[in-house]
Chain A
Amino acid sequence: MSEHEVLVRACGLTKRFGDFTAVDGIDFDLYRGEAFGFLGPNGAGKSSTMRMIGCVSPPTSGDLVILGRDPVRDGSAIRARLGVVPQEDTLDVELTVRENLLVYGRYFGLPRRLIRERTDALLDFVQLSDRARDKVDPLSGGLKRRLTIARSLINEPEILILDEPTTGLDPQARHVVWDRLFRLKQRGVTLILTTHYMDEAEQLCDRLVVMDHGTFAAEGSPRDLITRYCSPEVLELRFDPEVHELAADKLKDFPAERGEVLADRILLYVTDGDAALAAVRSSGLEPLTSLVRRGTLEDVFLRLTGRRLED
């Protein structure tokens, strides 16, 4: 990737709010055409980073260059080339679907005729053409999200910034959004997204950083991170609450790569899950339920931060 053009470069990027440090000296390069994800729990500093890249939040210190420009001095010119899908929809609910795109296109100074043409294409792209003349207010969360995505594309942005694009959507609506974002990526739009869903990160991101307490705990492709920080298989064991602690104690000496004791489950990171389960049973422990699965980003996150993602 490194031979590609760098669109965003951050060096020691820091954001403080009073005594609280939301983003603590992060470094990253974002290349044209990739999908770059910030994975982390709420409060990790993801949204603060997105706002700085969106040129609506001046960095406290460090360097940030976006599209070769300084976001504080040239924010307006940079934003003309960005698209933003904020965490909470900011649609004008009293206006129709079409009018929302018209208003937004005018913000970018686009002529009305061009806005009309692009609106047709964009509503088609997010499958909202049949709702074009409807008011926004009664639309479902999933449809509003798709409209927000269409609106963010009205200026044909080079970089699309998505802050938790599918939070609060039902599974089916999430898949539609993922599909549209994947198509955008195929068209060459650079995506920056934050998420606390590991499946979203795995589906969409070429490269991601695990963010916690304002810093990066790790960086790489989803596959990379899993091989680097997780065993090939994970054995999940659930015991009777009465013996949960006892079992946890016993399993400490078990020959696993690593163990993790959660409130309701015990995770064993092993090479062969079935063999490990057999070994657990032969040691006299009988779990209520057991599950052998592959390692995921959730495990990576647990390993790196000691916490679960969606807590």
Chain B
Amino acid sequence: MAPAAVTLARRPSSSLSFRAFQCWLTLYRRIWRSSVWSSVLGPLFYLGAMGFGLGSLVDRHGTASLGGVSYLAFVAPAILASSVMNTAMGEASYPVFGSIKWNKIYIGAQASPLRPGDIFRGHLMFMTMRIAMNAAVVMVFMWAFGATRSAWVVLAWPAAVLTGLAFAAPIAAWAVTVTHENNFAYMFRFGMMPLMLFSGTFFPLSQLPGWLRPLAYATPLWHGVDLCRGLSLGHVDLPAALGHVAYLAVLAAFGIWAGARTYRRRLYV
């Protein structure tokens, strides 16, 4: 007999999701060391190689097409946006799949008062935390390298988190339905790579052939890149920025809605 457990189980769902989140925190406290290097060194290498290495070459030929800023300042916010995408894809793919197939965290949690939607939202909270942490690391490097041009850049942090969530929520909603892990390799190869290359990340979209541009405008990463870049350079075009936020928010909301359903279908068979 457990009257305490019974009354607590009637709490609202946000509290149930938070319980699932706590499980991930406990686990993270055990394994955070292994993720530190990729979180810190990845952005450091990218900023160094692209910003300074490639940047010195680009800057010598004039940067009018970049809007007159150094290549480092141009590319740094895009590296911020694409690295949160990487974090989101990493956190929302294999760990979700593994929570059913490998360490069975979801299966264990399922036998408790947590419902599939709570399990999903709790894990998504943890992904969002990881995204926010990695975004903060990149921003510290941006600041240290003098790659920012405006105080608006502080808003690039929530913008990056929103970009990450717009990837993490729908990907997690899909990942829970995946029956073979090979599918994730396809996502990284045919999803992440082209997005990183053709979303106005390393060169402005004006350099793409005209027929390809609408495709790039449709990708979520371009919205994240353009939003973060505007904030970092201090060239915020309000209607465009609101458009980006709306696009990303709709994608994130869709993922949150879909995830509660796909998790239920997968876990309650």
Within 8 Å by CB of A109, from B19, B111, B269, lies B19
User: B27: which of A95, A104, A109 is its contact (CB, 8 Å)?
Assistant: A95
The residues of A that contact B206 with a CB separation of less than 8 Å are: none
Contact present for A77 and B6 (CB under 8 Å)? yes
- A90, B9: Cβ atoms closer than 8 Å: no
Q: Are B111 and A79 in contact (CB under 8 A)?
A: yes
Q: A76-B115, A94-B103, A114-B4 are in contact. Are A107 and B109 (CB under 8 A)?
A: yes
**Cβ of A108: which chain B residues have Cβ within 8 Å of it?**
2, 5, 8-9, 112-113
Q: Are A80 and B9 in contact (CB under 8 A)?
A: yes
Distance in Å from the Cβ of B108 to the closest Cβ of chain A?
4
Chain A residues within 8 Å of B111, by CB: 54, 56, 79, 82, 84, 86, 90, 152
Task: Judge whether B31 is part of the interface by a CB distance below 8 angstroms.
Answer: yes
The distance from the CB of A33 to the nearest CB of chain B, in whole angstroms, is 12
A91-B16 contact in complex given A77-B6, A109-B9, A157-B2, C-beta closer than 8 Å = no
The answer on a CB contact under 8 Å between A57 and B23 is: no
Answer yes or no: B110 CB below 8 A from chain A CBs.
Answer: yes
Instruction: Map CB proximity to A onto B34-73 as digits: 1 under 8 Å, 0 otherwise.
Output: 0000000000000000000000000000000000000000
Q: Is B10 an interface residue (CB 8 A)?
A: yes
- Kindly name the residue among B5, B22, B104, B267 whose own CB sees the greatest number of chain A CB atoms within 10 A: B5
State the Cβ distance, A77 to closest chain B Cβ, in Å. Answer: 5
B5 touches A109 (CB 8 A): yes
Is residue A291 within 8 Å, beta carbon to beta carbon, of the partner chain? no
A91 with B113: in contact, given A57-B269, A80-B6, A80-B9 (CB under 8 Å)? no
- Name the A residues within 8 Å of B6 (CB-CB): 77, 80-81
Complex Cα distance, B20 from A102, in Å, reads 12
A92 at interface, CB cutoff 8 A: yes
- Check A109–B8 contact: CB distance below 8 A: yes
Interface assignment of B179: CB less than 8 Å from any CB of chain A: no
Q: Is the interface of B mostly helix, strand, loop or mixed?
A: helix
- What residue of chain A has the Cβ atom nearest to residue B115's Cβ? A76
Are A88 and B104 touching (Cβ within 8 A)? Answer: yes
- Tell me the complex Cα distance, A86–B112, Å: 12
Interface size class of B (residues with CB under 8 A): 20 to 34
Residue of B nearest to A91 (CB): B108
Answer yes or no: B180 CB below 8 A from chain A CBs: no
CB neighbours (8 Å) of B110 from chain A are 56
Task: Report whether A155 and B2 are in contact in the complex, using a CB–CB cutoff of 8 Å.
Answer: yes
A157–B22 CA distance with the chains assembled, in angstroms: 22
Contact across chains for B22 and A103 when beta carbons are under 8 A apart: yes
B240 at the interface (CB under 8 A from A): no
A77 and B104 in contact, given A82-B111, A99-B26, A107-B112 (Cβ under 8 angstroms): no
B268 lies within 8 A of chain A by Cβ? yes
B residues 234-269 in Cβ contact with A at 8 Å:
267-269
A79 in contact with B113 given A92-B103, A108-B8, A108-B9 (CB within 8 Å): yes
Residue in chain B with minimal CB distance to A85: B111
CB <8 Å contact, B27 and A80: no
- Most A CB contacts (10 A, CB to CB) among B16, B30, B108, B115 go to B108
CA distance A81 to B112 in the complex (A): 9
Cα A109 to Cα B3 in complex, Å, equals: 12
User: What bracket does the count of chain A residues touching chain B fall in?
Assistant: 35 or more
For residue B9, which residues in chain A have a CB less than 8 angstroms away from its CB? Answer: 76-77, 79-80, 108-109
A94 & B8 in contact (Cβ 8 Å cutoff): no
Inter-chain CA distance A272–B149, complex, in Å, is: 98
The docked-state distance in angstroms from the alpha carbon of A114 to that of B150 is: 50
Measured between beta carbons, the chain A residues less than 8 angstroms from B112 are 79-80, 104, 107-108, 155
Q: Contacts A90-B107, A93-B103: A110 and B23 contacting too (C-beta < 8 A)?
A: no
A17 surroundings in chain B (CB, below 8 A): 269
- Smallest distance from the beta carbon of A74 to chain B beta carbons, Å? 10
> Which residues from A are CB-within-8-Å of B31?
94
A156 is an interface residue with CB less than 8 A from chain B:
yes
- Given contact pairs A86-B111, A109-B19, A109-B113, A92 touches B27 in the complex (Cβ within 8 A): yes
CB contacts (< 8 Å) of B27 on chain A: these are 92, 94-95, 103
Q: Do A92 and B105 contact each other (CB < 8 Å), given the known contacts A76-B115, A155-B5, A156-B1?
A: yes
In the assembled complex, how far is the CB of residue A87 from the closest CB belonging to chain B, in whole angstroms? Answer: 10
Chain B, 200-240, CB within 8 A of any chain A CB: none
Question: When chains A and B are docked, how far (Å) is the Cα of A106 from the Cα of B11?
Answer: 13
Q: Are B115 and A103 in contact (CB under 8 A)?
A: no
Min CB distance, B263 to chain A, in Å?
12
Given contacts A86-B111, A109-B11, A155-B2, whether A56 and B23 have CB atoms under 8 Å apart is: no
6 contacts between A and B (CB under 8 A): A79-B113, A103-B26, A107-B23, A108-B2, A152-B111, A155-B112
Further 17 A-B residue pairs, CB within 8 A, beyond A80-B5, A93-B103, A94-B27: A76-B115, A80-B112, A81-B5, A82-B111, A90-B105, A90-B107, A92-B105, A92-B108, A94-B103, A103-B26, A107-B114, A108-B113, A110-B8, A156-B2, A156-B5, A157-B2, A158-B1
